[in-house]
Amino acid sequence: MMTVVEAARALDARISATDTQPPRAEQLRFQSVSTDSRSIDQGALFVALRGDRFDGHAFIGAVGPDGAAHRVRPFARAAGLHAHFVEKPKHATGAAVVTVNGAGQNHIIIALGANLGLKPRDIPPALLAPAQVVVCQGESDYATVGHVLRTARRNGAITVLNPAPMRPEFDPAVLRHTEVLIPNESEFTALVQQCPSCAALLRTAPYNAGGAFTTATLHALTAEALHRLCRCLKVPVVIVTLGARGCFVSQPDVWLRISAHDVEVVDTAGAGDAFVGGFAAGLVKFKHNIFEAAHYASAVAALSVMQPGTAPSMPIAREIARFLRKRDHK
């Protein structure tokens, strides 16, 4: 813990005003720092940064000239999201239809719409320049995804690719600029079959058991065999999310299985997005520690499946911290 006075000295700053009543500045201690007033925890120091609705993250997407776009913009503003929407007059706004069964499991049908028309020229360099972590998904043209990942790496950011939705025309070239790859089990199954670097390994046991490589084959693999398959993708970090089975983290010289939290599942829609967003936040929170970030992401995903819906079910930092404290005490 640090006092406000100690922080001011460390930053070569000065305290211009403080309460005259105790506790004084030299007695005020804090254990964390937050730039987001919506998720500040007790005992944290809030730092207000100059900027329009600064909240530490930005979102880039595309919309069409339709009613859906008129709903997306107010939603982003209400959530305090720094969103940059590019208008694509010849495309409809992307949409998804989600069905959820009685066990909370989902099936999703996606119309990519305007996001597929997003081009490299649509990406403002000023939004990428200060980023510590840049996350891309598979809803945009792969040339655009590759451009963003390449630019982000050149800027010194950590690049994360969530290849959802996994499309038949997936371009393995985007993996060259990816530092962390986060597919779910079905995306991973398709991905390794579309990557030439995995072809030889898939022709050998145990990967060719029963013929084609399927999610059933994936589930039957030992940790060592799964780690070997992850390494053939030639991405520094591969994290395969496995639903109720947790996730598998593969780095060049080490792997780790992380169990899923035992929670009451209401709706799994958006759980993958929650994991990816939680992982990106965890990378910053835990100073690029991959395993700590993955544990944090697992908690975010667990909280999201306990509520119905996608965006409305995403937890904030305070809720995640409370959830983890309760788990630590068990």
Catalytic residues: 273
Strand partners, 181: 161, 238
∠102-105-106 over CA atoms, to 5°? 110
Question: What 3-state DSSP class applies to 66?
Answer: coil
Could you give the CA distance from residue 29 to residue 13 in angstroms, rounded to a whole number?
Answer: 17
- The beta strand positions in the chain, using DSSP E, are 2-3, 29-30, 32-34, 44-46, 58-63, 82-87, 95-100, 106-111, 133-137, 158-162, 180-181, 237-241, 247-251, 254-258
Residue recorded with tokens 């908690």: 299
Residue recorded with tokens 């700053």: 13
**Amino acid code (one letter) for 259:** S
Find all residues with CB under 8 Å of 239, minimum gap 6, and list them: 180, 181, 182, 247, 248, 249, 250, 279, 294
Could you give the CA distance from residue 197 to residue 180 in angstroms, rounded to a whole number?
Answer: 17
**CA-to-CA dists, residue 168 to 152, 163, 202, 229, angstroms:** 25, 11, 18, 20
Question: What 3-state DSSP class applies to 138?
Answer: coil
Could you give the CA distance from residue 317 to residue 103 in angstroms, rounded to a whole number?
Answer: 27
Q: What is the DSSP letter of 156?
A: T
